[in-house]
Amino acid sequence: MSEKKPGDFVEIQLGRRNFLQIVGMTGAASGLGLPVAAHAAAIAAVAHSAAPAEVDGLALVRFKVNGKAQSLKVDPRTTLLDALRDHLQLTGTKKGCDHGQCGACTVHVNGRRVNSCLSLAAMHEGDEVTTLEGLGQPGNLHPMQQAFLEHDGYQCGYCTSGQIMSAVALMKEPCGPANADVKEAMSGNICRCGAYSNIVAAIQQVRKA
In order, the DSSP letters of 23-92 are HHHHHHHHHTT--HHHHHHHHHHHHHHT-TTT----EEEEEEETTEEEEEEE-TT-BHHHIIIIIS--TT
Residue 121 has pLDDT above 80, yes or no: yes
> What's residue 114's pLDDT?
97
Between the alpha carbon of residue 32 and those of residues 27, 29, 39, 41, 206, the distances in Å are 9, 5, 11, 15, 74
pLDDT band at residue 18 under the 50/70/90 scheme: low
Compare 25 and 180 and report the one with higher pLDDT: 180
Mean pLDDT of the region 117-142: 96
Does the structure show a pLDDT above 50 at 55?
no
If one compares 9 and 56, the residue with the highest pLDDT of the two is 56
Domains of the chain: 16-49 (no CATH), 59-208 (3.10.20.30)
Under 8 Å CB-to-CB from 151, ≥6 apart: which residues?
A: 198, 199, 201, 202, 205
Average pLDDT of the residues in 103-131: 97
Q: Is the pLDDT of residue 34 over 60?
A: no
Confidence (pLDDT) at 56: 82
Mean pLDDT of the chain: 84
